[in-house]
Structure 1
Amino acid sequence: MDESFLLMLSNLLHLHNSIDPTTSLLSTTTTSSPSPTSSSSSSTPTSLLTSSSAAPLLFFTIASVLSFIATSRPKPSPATASTSGGTSSATASAMSVSAFRALATEHIWSLEAPLRDAQWRSLYGLSYPVFTTVVEKLRPHIALSNLSLPSDYAVAMVLSRLSHGFSAQTLASRYSLDPYLVSKITNMVTRLLATKLYPEFIKIPVSRRRLIETTQAFEELTSLPNMCGAIDGSPIKLHKHNLPGNYKCKYGYPSVLLEVVADHKKIFWDVCVKAPGGTDDATHFRDSLLYNRLTSGDIVWDKVINVRGHHVRPYIVGDWCYPLLSFLLTPFSPNGMGTPAQNLFDGMLMKGRSVVVEAIGLLKGRWKILQDLNVGLNHVPQTIVACCVLHNLCQIAREPEPELWKDPDESGAPPRVLDSEKSFYYFGESLRQALADDLHQRLSSR
């Protein structure tokens, strides 16, 4: 029986005896000689109901209600237990309002910074300074929503859900809130992160200073000049299973497709979530705003170099699942069947691409909700983008990197070239060969 129910029952017994000592509920009917004392202290169901005092009837009424509540209280299901990670009551109390307030206000400045930040990361996925940055940037927008909860508490609750992957029901029980309110606050905070903070923390590197820094860093890593990013797609598993067939990804589970471009610091400078998980990377890329801006010439990168007579503008790299274009270079061969120069180029290109693979691994490792996304389908894109914004904040602040989440290795045939892409394809093919020959000559002469 629940300990809290037993405690309430014990208190009621003592309360009853103090109210009506003539019908003690703890005594039993005796067989000894009756005496004035024993007859008054003995009780039967009949004597209790016919007692002149209202205390026995009151006691049984209250006890019956408590018994019904105790027996009808839902037991945690295995799914809920697994979602909460088997946390103890101590962990649950650490998620409470009072615990958050105590840690945030009373003890936070008395802790050494490493201990303080480690404790904060274990609860909310990021250090205290980064947490306060998020709160301060969102506070004016949260204030406009007339939310009854303080901004820092609302942000802490949502971050704990994103970093641990808790369901709304699990988090509601820990924060003593209604699950609907938890979902509502989660949707509000993730929407603000995905809209208000996105332009500040997810930016295409068009400024000359940042472009030079990025291309130089990639050249140090790969020996390939003017590389400014790496692109990749990753399915984000959805908790819901009653979805149309086009949501099932090639790994067999329902998902949506995330596409990101990352720089050398594993910071995302473009994010796109527009397709069900069954969509291939090339189709998703062609439907993205980035593709439209690159093909239309809307993005102007002010850094052009000459390689063997080719004007090389900044470009991104991807695997063979993406189309070869003048601004997106892919490997010659997925299985090392090219010339020595081509194989060398492929190895260096994939080395540059590794930054985006690691960035996605960090994203899913740090924000575990993306390992099994349990939000409404309409709120899936904003939740994913919000996690990408938080990922960039952590990378900029040089937060410790968690264990990488490992996606399965990709495979597949190169996509066909569209008629509208042929000029980009032919230029990209020529450019890729020039870069491969130049790379082979430079490294061979060392």
Structure 2
Amino acid sequence: MDESFMLMVSNLLHLHNSLDPSTSLLSSPSPPSSSSSTSSPSSLLSSSPPTPFLFFTLASLLSYLASQKKKPSTKPPSSTSTTTTNPESSTFSVSAFRALSTEHIWSLEAPLRDAQWRSMYGLSYPVFTTVVDKLKPHIVASNLSLPTDYAVGMVLSRLAHGFSAKTLASRYSLEPYLISKITNMVTRLLATELYPEFIKIPVSRRRLIESTQAFEELTSLPNMCGAIDGSPIKVKRGDIGGNMYECRYGYSSVLLQVVADHKKVFWDVCVKAPGGSDDASHLRGSLLYNRLVSGDVVWDKVINVRGHHVRPYIVGDWCYPLLSFLMTPFSPDGSGTPAQNLFDGMLMKGRSVVVDSIALLKGRWKILQDLNVDLTHAPQTIVACCVLHNLCQIAREPEPETWKDPDEGGAPARGLENEKSFHYFGDSLRQALADDLHQRLSSR
């Protein structure tokens, strides 16, 4: 019985006994005497029967019980903790998610609210709602039994923390196969429906001017519009056979290729090669390469450097071929002329943007550090993380701790027969850029 109720009853008993010591509320009533019927009204005040106090006690009890129904229960569901709840029963339930996202979330200050959301889903609440709003029509059309925001939140928590389907199944009280199915659906939608909106080749003059000016401020090289690099994404060894997926670091992987701008925003993503492939082969098999070689992508911003018409170009390390639209270093070991070595240093400074972008991508979406999805769904999962990365960069989300791969090496890429003209013009442009850079910096 509740201690406060027992205390109330005890106080009532003491109160009665102090008023009328000869009568006890707990004792049997004494038989009526002949004098009781002739008592005066004044005698009732000095020696009252127990009935009024019993009535008062019962009234107090009813009032107490009524007040207890109105009070919310503060007792925690677990007997071993007073501050945490059972994750399997409430923390990850739909109702708990709804309460967090609709009521509790708006009672917090925006910085605290968004920090809490990032810790769970990798992005702030406004960006989360943007993703949900854009995916909702497609998810609703799939007749998924779960609410859209709950399904998206569940997948984002997996991408942000690298949870396996089995881990999420135990937390959300769902079957692992259903977790995998929902993950595949959401990542496929991100990689297809949202990709064209958030990953675009910069062709507008405004965007080209913004990118080239920012890279020139960083490197002193004109008309640079992006940096390219590849990175292996570790996959489960049991899914594959042979050595074609083994990367230079010794684990099974698929190869990610990205081109990033000065804001660490990807404007091209490709996942088409096993981890054992080299960067040059992956580039040549990509849609970006085919579009640039065929002239499908037209960059109108042209400048004149020592009599050469220089269109916007991207930069990469020596593992990529030298082409008219792709500048690479003269030498990987600094054995060139002073002008060439200066150019190489500035080029690699510009290339560091894409290295930092990939490190940020893997730090923000930890599932890419050790991909725990089926190999057939690996490319769409990787691309989905790149789309989410761009959303975060565009929204200027805080950058978390990054994940950097070991320093890479590799032999310089060799040109192909059908690339001779691109290599010839690229070599002339590179030398002109190096000489112009050396002259400008030497004269300061």
Q: CA deviation at 1:239?
A: 2.3
Whole-Å separation in 2 of the counterparts to 1:314 and 1:255: 32
Give 1:406's match in structure 2, choosing from 404, 407, 415. 404
Q: CA deviation at 1:88?
A: 10
Whole-Å separation in 2 of the counterparts to 1:381 and 1:183: 15
Secondary structure of the structure 1 residue equivalent to 2:267 = strand
Give 1:136's match in structure 2, choosing from 121, 133, 138. 133
Partner of 1:185 in structure 2? 182
Secondary structure of the structure 2 residue equivalent to 1:129 = helix
Cα deviation, 1:285-340, whole Å, max 9, x if unaligned, reads: 00000000011111000100000000000000000000000000000111111111
Does residue 236 of the first structure (1) align with residue 246 of the second (2)? no
Q: CA deviation at 1:105?
A: 1.1
Q: TM-score with structure 1 length normalisation?
A: 0.79
Partner of 1:70 in structure 2? none
**What is the correspondence of 1:199-348 to structure 2 with a 5 Å cutoff?**
199-244=196-241, 245-348=243-346
Cα deviation, 1:330-375, whole Å, max 9, x if unaligned, reads: 0011111111111110010001001100000010000000001011
Partner amino acid, structure 2, of 1:347: G
Root mean square deviation, CA, Å: 1.4
Cα deviation, 1:256-288, whole Å, max 9, x if unaligned, reads: 000000000000000000000000000000000
Secondary structure of the structure 2 residue equivalent to 1:341 = helix
Partner of 1:80 in structure 2? none
Secondary structure of the structure 1 residue equivalent to 2:123 = coil
Going from structure 1 to structure 2, the CA distance change for 1:311 and 1:121 (only over 3 Å counts) comes to same
Going from structure 1 to structure 2, the CA distance change for 1:88 and 1:295 (only over 3 Å counts) comes to farther
Partner of 2:100 in structure 1? 103
Between structure 1 and structure 2, the one with the greater Rg is 2
Partner of 2:192 in structure 1? 195
**What is the correspondence of 1:343-362 to structure 2 with a 5 Å cutoff?**
343-362=341-360
Going from structure 1 to structure 2, the CA distance change for 1:437 and 1:89 (only over 3 Å counts) comes to farther
Does residue 167 of the first structure (1) align with residue 160 of the second (2)? no
Secondary structure of the structure 1 residue equivalent to 2:244 = helix
Whole-Å separation in 1 of the counterparts to 2:398 and 2:268: 23
Going from structure 1 to structure 2, the CA distance change for 1:236 and 1:93 (only over 3 Å counts) comes to farther
Q: CA deviation at 1:89?
A: 5.7
Q: CA deviation at 1:99?
A: 2.8
Q: CA deviation at 1:242?
A: 4.7
Partner amino acid, structure 2, of 1:318: G
Q: CA deviation at 1:181?
A: 0.7
Structure 1 alignment gaps of length 5 or more: 1-86
Whole-Å separation in 2 of the counterparts to 1:107 and 1:310: 61
Whole-Å separation in 2 of the counterparts to 1:221 and 1:93: 50
Cα deviation, 1:62-121, whole Å, max 9, x if unaligned, reads: xxxxxxxxxxxxxxxxxxxxxxxxx99669954333332221011111100010000000
| C-alpha contact (below 8 Å) 1:241/1:254 kept by paired residues | no
Partner of 2:73 in structure 1? none
Secondary structure of the structure 2 residue equivalent to 1:235 = strand
| C-alpha contact (below 8 Å) 2:330/2:341 kept by paired residues | yes
Partner of 1:69 in structure 2? none
* Overall identity of the aligned pairs, in %: 84
Partner of 1:427 in structure 2? 425
Partner of 1:22 in structure 2? none
| C-alpha contact (below 8 Å) 1:93/1:174 kept by paired residues | no
Whole-Å separation in 2 of the counterparts to 1:297 and 1:92: 58
Going from structure 1 to structure 2, the CA distance change for 1:289 and 1:92 (only over 3 Å counts) comes to farther
**What is the correspondence of 1:142-161 to structure 2 with a 5 Å cutoff?**
142-161=139-158
| C-alpha contact (below 8 Å) 2:255/2:271 kept by paired residues | yes
Whole-Å separation in 1 of the counterparts to 2:364 and 2:427: 38
Structure 2 alignment gaps of length 5 or more: 1-83
Going from structure 1 to structure 2, the CA distance change for 1:344 and 1:95 (only over 3 Å counts) comes to farther
